[in-house]
Amino acid sequence: MLGTDIRGIMAEEEEVQRRQEALQSLMSMREKLLRESLEARIKRARGTGDWTNLSPAECANIYKEERVHLRAQLERLKAERDRTRGKLSALKRAKVRAQRIRAAEAASGKKRK
Counted domains in the chain: 1
Query: What rounded mean pLDDT belongs to the chain?
Result: 90
What is the reported pLDDT for 2? 46
Vertex 58: Cα angle to 52 and 60 (nearest 5): 105
Contact 95, 9 (CB under 8 A): yes
pLDDT in tens, 68-112: 999 999 999 999 999 999 999 999 999 999 888 888 888 887 766
- Domain containing 48 equals 2-112
Contacts of 5 (CB under 8 A, 6+ apart): 98
DSSP letter for 51, please.
Answer: T
pLDDT in tens, 21-35: 999 999 999 999 999
Contact 31, 77 (CB under 8 A): no
Is the predicted pLDDT of residue 1 greater than 90, yes or no?
Answer: no
What is the reported pLDDT for 112? 60
The structure's pTM equals 0.75
